[in-house]
């Protein structure tokens, strides 16, 4: 145990008092996790879901975002209270020592190249579209998309190697703000059926392909509906591989006990004054995760609604060589000149996603393997960054040049890391919370119920999606 029990520093006045606009300054690291997921999750998969299933699946998207917020907040509050990443204490879960961090680390490493091949490939197709490379010549279109994707990988890796965390956070905050304003304006101008959207958000409906999808998009129909839908859930808001790295980014913030010297059997001083400080500090992760997932939820709802209002009636689905071109109508319906705004916005959405992912994945790798030994804990983050960039760069390039369908590239990663392991995370956090935190600082009844519900639903849905995917591949 530590020589002395943890005593929290005084929280800033804006955290100790009522919430105000000043508390929004604690939103920063959350912008990274939001922008890392918005490119692929919302602009592509949410609008695709709206195009295929109309308003009927809003409940699935909204529920997924809320459950993932619960997942992430439980870990953010834990590192704020203990100064330790939850992964450190997951090494003490029943079974062989450190088996949980190792398994999650290996699964995350497996997922990295799929996302960092699929995203550059889509970015390459966006570049083709902006530069006027026609999709009619399929061979040329695919080749140039891979060339641009390769260039994007090289540039993103180079910038990640030389830039700082602070620069990344500021860049992602700007990208996020720009995208949020654009999509909100487009959604309001589309005049969707808000009553149907409300019904779709609160009434669960089993997904089925409509007749026009069966006849017009036979390749999509080859995928079981639940695989299609759960790929969306996995992409929306990110996955375990993103959240481990996000929680690591909170070390930069020095909130509460973060940075304090503590061990697995940590001790926290439980006098009322110290507990009051602890609860004040918990406002910071609430703001950061809350604003982040609120942005994700707004983006998700807007793109599903736009897909349902604009693409579904026209029988158009983001697929094949037109993953993002149909969505141009979201803005050109307002004015044709806004086509350029959409092209710029969608380019930077995917660029922001890919650029931020390299740094997030570096931190994810560190947190997964640091608990294994003192040597790995003492290894500088820059060393991890070098090997992760090398692995993701080589793996991403191999997949980029060998697999043609971007959706197929990201599906396995979305199902495993974006749904199934998210559920397991919730259960691990409940165990860790009860094992290592004093009772006054453990999750309240409401958060405990939410974490249990989220863990159960995400685990079961993830297992079903993986099963249907494997059977479908067979």
Q: Quote the pLDDT of residue 435.
A: 92
Query: What number of other Cβ atoms are within 10 A of residue 336's Cβ?
Result: 10
Give me the torsion for CA of 156, 158, 162, 164, rounded to 10°.
10
Q: Kindly state whether residue 338 falls inside one of the protein's structural domains.
A: yes
The residues facing 268 across adjacent strands are 6
Query: DSSP of 362-431, one letter per residue?
Result: HHHHHHHHGGG-HHHHHS-HHHHHHHHHHHHHHHHHHHHTT---HHHHHHHHHHIIIIIHHHHHHHHHHH
Enumerate the β-bridge partners of residue 6: 268
3-state DSSP assignment of residue 85: coil
**Residue 109: inside a domain, yes or no?**
yes
Range of the domain at 82: 27-473
The CA distances from residue 155 to 83, 159, 305, 423, in Å, are 34, 6, 34, 34
Reduce the DSSP state of residue 268 to 3 states and report it. Answer: strand
**What pLDDT does residue 86 have?**
93
Q: What is the pLDDT along the chain (474 residues), one digit of tens a residue?
A: 445 778 888 888 877 766 666 676 666 666 666 666 665 566 778 888 899 999 988 888 888 889 999 999 999 999 999 988 999 899 888 888 889 888 888 888 888 888 888 889 888 888 888 888 877 778 888 899 999 999 999 998 998 887 765 665 566 566 656 666 777 777 777 778 889 989 998 888 877 898 999 999 998 888 888 888 887 787 777 888 889 988 988 888 888 888 554 444 568 888 999 899 899 999 889 988 988 888 888 888 888 888 898 899 989 988 876 777 777 777 777 677 777 777 777 787 777 778 778 888 999 999 988 888 889 989 998 999 999 999 999 999 999 998 877 777 777 878 888 889 899 999 999 999 999 999 999 999 999 999 999 999 999 988 988 888 887 665
Domain at 110, CATH number: 1.20.1740.10
| Strand partners of residue 319 | 322
In the prediction, which pLDDT does 7 show? Answer: 85
Residue 469 lies in a domain: yes
CA distance 277 to 406: 48
pLDDT value of position 262: 47
Exposure b/e, 33-68, CB count within 10 A at least 16 = b:
bbbbbbbbbbbbbbbbbbbbbbbbbbbbbbbbbebb
48 assigned to some structural domain: yes
Does 216 fall in a domain?
yes
DSSP string, 277-346: HHHHHTHHHHHHHHHHHHHHHHHHHHHHHHIIIIIHHHT--SBTTBSSSGGGHHHHTT-GGGHHHHHHHH
Q: What is the pLDDT of residue 264?
A: 43
Provide the number of structural domains found in the chain. 1
Pair 292, 42: CB distance under 8 Å = no
User: Phi/psi class of residue 241: alpha, beta or left (left: φ > 0; alpha: ψ in -120 to 50)?
Assistant: alpha
Q: Crossing angle for the helix pair 29-37 and 165-189, nearest 10 degrees?
A: 50
Can you tell me the distance from the alpha carbon of 41 to that of 33, in angstroms, rounded to the nearest whole number?
12
Which DSSP string do the residues of 166-197 spell out, in sequence order? HHHHHHHHHHHHHHHHHHHHHHHHT---HHHH
Paired tokens of 261? 């010297």
| Residue 7, domain member (yes or no) | no
The pTM score is 0.84
Supply φ then ψ for residue 218, to 5 degrees. -60, -30
Give the number of other CB atoms < 10 A from CB of residue 108: 24
User: Could you give the CA distance from residue 199 to residue 59 in angstroms, rounded to a whole number?
Assistant: 9
Residue 1 lies in a domain: no
**Does the residue 8 lie in any domain?**
no
């Amino acid at each position: 145990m530590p020589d002395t029990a943890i005593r929290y520093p005084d929280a800033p006045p804006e955290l100790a008092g009522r919430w105000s606009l000043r508390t929004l300054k604690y939103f920063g690291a959350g912008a990274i996790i939001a922008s890392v997921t918005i490119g692929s999750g919302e602009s592509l998969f949410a609008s695709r879901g709206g195009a295929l299933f109309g308003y009927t699946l809003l409940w699935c998207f909204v529920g997924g975002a809320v459950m993932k917020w619960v997942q992430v907040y439980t870990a953010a509050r834990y590192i704020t209270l203990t100064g330790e990443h939850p992964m450190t204490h997951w090494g003490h879960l029943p079974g062989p020592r450190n088996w949980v961090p190792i398994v999650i680390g290996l699964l995350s490493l497996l997922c990295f190249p799929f996302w960092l091949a699929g995203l550059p490939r889509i970015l390459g197709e966006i570049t083709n579209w902006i530069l006027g490379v026609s999709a009619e010549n399929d061979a040329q279109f695919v080749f140039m998309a891979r060339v641009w994707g390769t260039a994007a990988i090289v540039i993103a890796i180079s910038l990640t190697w030389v830039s700082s965390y602070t620069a990344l956070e500021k860049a992602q905050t700007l990208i996020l703000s720009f995208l949020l304003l654009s999509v909100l304006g487009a959604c309001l101008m589309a005049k969707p059926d808000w009553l149907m959207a409300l019904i779709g958000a609160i009434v669960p409906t089993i997904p089925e392909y409509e007749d026009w999808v069966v006849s017009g998009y036979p390749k999509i129909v080859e995928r079981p509906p639940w695989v299609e839908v759960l790929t969306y859930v996995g992409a929306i808001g990110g996955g375990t591989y993103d959240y481990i790295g996000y929680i690591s980014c909170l070390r930069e913030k020095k909130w509460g006990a973060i940075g304090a010297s503590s061990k697995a059997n940590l001790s926290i001083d439980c006098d009322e004054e110290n507990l009051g400080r602890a609860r004040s500090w918990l406002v910071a992760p609430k703001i950061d995760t809350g604003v982040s997932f609120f942005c994700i939820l707004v983006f998700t709802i807007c793109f599903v609604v736009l897909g349902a209002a604009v693409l579904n009636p026209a029988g158009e689905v983001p697929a094949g060589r037109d993953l993002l071109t149909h969505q141009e109508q979201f803005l050109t319906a307002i004015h044709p000149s806004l086509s350029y705004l959409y092209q710029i916005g969608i380019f930077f959405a995917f660029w922001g996603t890919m650029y931020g992912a390299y740094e997030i994945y570096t931190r994810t790798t560190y947190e997964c393997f640091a608990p294994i030994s003192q040597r790995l804990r003492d290894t500088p983050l820059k060393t991890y960054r070098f090997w992760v960039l090398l692995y993701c760069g080589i793996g991403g390039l191999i997949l980029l040049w060998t697999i043609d369908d971007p959706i197929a590239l990201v599906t396995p990663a979305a199902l495993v890391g974006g749904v199934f392991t998210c559920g397991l995370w919730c259960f691990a956090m409940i165990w860790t919370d009860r094992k290592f935190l004093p009772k006054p600082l453990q999750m309240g009844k409401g958060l405990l119920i939410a974490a249990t519900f989220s863990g159960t639903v995400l685990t079961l849905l993830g297992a079903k999606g993986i099963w249907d995917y494997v059977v479908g591949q067979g």
